[in-house]
């Protein structure tokens, strides 16, 4: 038998605020499609979607959390731009009775009820294995990260470095640098790294903006297609680079799935039905020239699936 509270919680409108890392990447458009699908399945949900312009604007994201830490908000779903700096505003929201779900990128502390993500460390190791195999486990490589404090992308870089150290001692990581929170900043950083660290045999970029910026920098420096390049995430621009052999692989996630499951997790938390497993993993796989047109890969990259 349901308690009076349970009946009320099940029947009332659910006000959920979704705070992505940025609004300048296709990744968040794909996640929004998954969010919208979950919202369409539950007429009680009243959704607010609001995030900073770029994923290096942590101050803006903190202010957004503060604005929506108020009466009437039932849950906040957030992709934290900084795993440490968001803890205090999240703590205050939770103290007001708001349930918090972290999505895509980790959050320090124990205030969030669920964390919906891909296994980013394993994704970084997959990228490293792919690049090491392509290079015959020898050569000079560089890693382009995005911004400090981003748990998801740092986990990918750390997984990459760990794999190389353990399994490919003949590969030297000559640079491991933060490129900035936008494709434009990443392009400038990548161009400088490519010039400073010549010769380079392979590169790994940790997310959409870093991969986009690296590809543009390789073209500008005349190195596109002349070294091995593994990126992370997918856009039409990056898939075109894969087709022209300027990219050798993309580790992709399922942002659509992440968005969908994060809303489901938020609803469950509000209703006191959160599962025992705090971390909920979604799909990750490697996209190559040979498989990127297959139905399975297309489904993961689709915003309308």
Q: Is 56 within 8 Å of 114 (Cβ atoms)?
A: no
Crossing angle between the packed helical segments 208-220 and 236-243, to the nearest 10 degrees: 50
Enumerate the β-bridge partners of residue 196: none
Residue 294 DSSP SS3: coil
Q: Which two tokens stand for residue 167?
A: 């399994």
On whether both 203 and 108 belong to a single domain, the answer is: no
Place of tokens 């209703």: 271
46 vs 298: which has the higher pLDDT: 46
pLDDT tens digits, 100-136 = 999 999 999 999 999 999 999 999 999 999 999 999 9
Asked if the structure places residue 296 within a domain, the reply is: no
Q: Is there a domain that residue 76 lies in? A: yes
What is the count of structural domains for the chain?
Answer: 2
What local confidence, expressed as pLDDT, does residue 276 receive? 76
Tokens 């039905």 belong to residue: 273
Residue 269 falls within a domain, yes or no? yes
Geometric angle at alpha carbon 130, from 26 and 240, rounded to 5°: 40
pTM score, whole prediction: 0.88
pLDDT digits (tens, 9 = 90+) for 284-301: 999 999 998 899 888 887
Measure CA 77 to chain center.
14
What DSSP string describes 15-37? EEEEE-S-SSSHHHHHHHHHHHH
Dist. CA 203–CA 225, nearest whole Å: 12
Q: Which two tokens stand for residue 229?
A: 């390049």
Of 60, 79, 90, nearest to 150 by C-alpha is 79
For residue 89, pLDDT over 50 is answered with yes
- Give residue 304's pLDDT: 53
Strands 249-253 and 284-287: antiparallel
CA distance 284 to 257: 11
Minimal CA–CA distance to 58: which of 135, 148, 139?
Answer: 148
171 within a domain of the structure (yes/no): yes
User: Average pLDDT in the 146-160 region?
Assistant: 96
pLDDT band at 80 (very low <50, low <70, confident <90, very high): very high
Element (H, E) at 178: strand 171-178
- Looking at the chain, the whole-number percentage of residues with pLDDT higher than 70 is 95
Q: Which domain holds residue 238?
A: 120-252
Q: What is the mean pLDDT of residues 35-45?
A: 97
Contact 268, 40 (CB under 8 A): no
- Among 305, 287, 240, 242, which Cα is nearest to 297's? 287
User: What is the tens place of the pLDDT at every residue in 176-215?
Assistant: 999 999 999 999 999 999 999 999 999 999 999 999 999 9
Q: What's the confidence (pLDDT) of residue 134?
A: 97
Above 90 in pLDDT, residue 3? no
Instruction: Report yes or no on 291 lying in a domain.
Output: no
Q: Is 305 inside a domain boundary?
A: no
| CATH code of the domain containing 229 | 3.40.50.2300
């Amino acid at each position: 038998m349901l308690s009076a509270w349970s009946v009320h919680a099940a029947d009332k409108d659910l006000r959920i605020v979704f705070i992505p890392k940025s609004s300048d990447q296709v990744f968040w458009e794909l996640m929004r499609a998954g969010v919208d699908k979950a919202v369409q399945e539950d007429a009680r949900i009243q959704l607010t979607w609001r995030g900073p312009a770029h994923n290096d604007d942590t101050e803006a994201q903190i202010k957004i959390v503060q604005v929506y830490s108020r009466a009437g908000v039932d849950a906040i779903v957030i992709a934290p731009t900084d795993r440490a700096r968001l803890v205090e505003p999240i703590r205050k929201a939770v103290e007001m009775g708001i349930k918090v779900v972290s999505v895509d990128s980790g959050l320090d502390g124990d205030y969030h009820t669920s964390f919906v993500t891909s296994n980013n460390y394993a994704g970084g190791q997959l990228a490293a294995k792919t690049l090491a195999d392509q290079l015959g486990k020898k050569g000079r490589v560089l890693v382009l990260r995005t911004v400090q404090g981003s748990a998801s992308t740092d986990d990918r870089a750390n997984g990459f470095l760990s794999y190389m150290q353990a399994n490919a001692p003949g590969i030297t990581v000559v640079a491991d640098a933060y490129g900035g929170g936008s494709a434009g900043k990443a392009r400038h950083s990548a161009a400088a790294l490519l010039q400073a660290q010549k010769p380079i045999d392979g590169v790994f970029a940790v997310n959409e903006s870093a991969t986009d910026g690296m590809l543009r920098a390789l073209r500008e420096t005349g190195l596109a297609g002349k070294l091995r390049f593994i990126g992370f995430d997918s856009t039409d621009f990056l898939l075109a680079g894969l087709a022209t052999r300027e990219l050798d692989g993309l580790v992709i996630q399922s942002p659509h799935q992440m968005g969908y499951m994060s809303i489901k997790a938020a609803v469950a938390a509000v209703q006191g039905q959160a599962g025992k497993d705090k971390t909920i993993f979604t799909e990750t796989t490697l996209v190559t020239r040979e498989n990127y047109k297959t139905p399975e890969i297309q489904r993961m990259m689709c915003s309308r699936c």
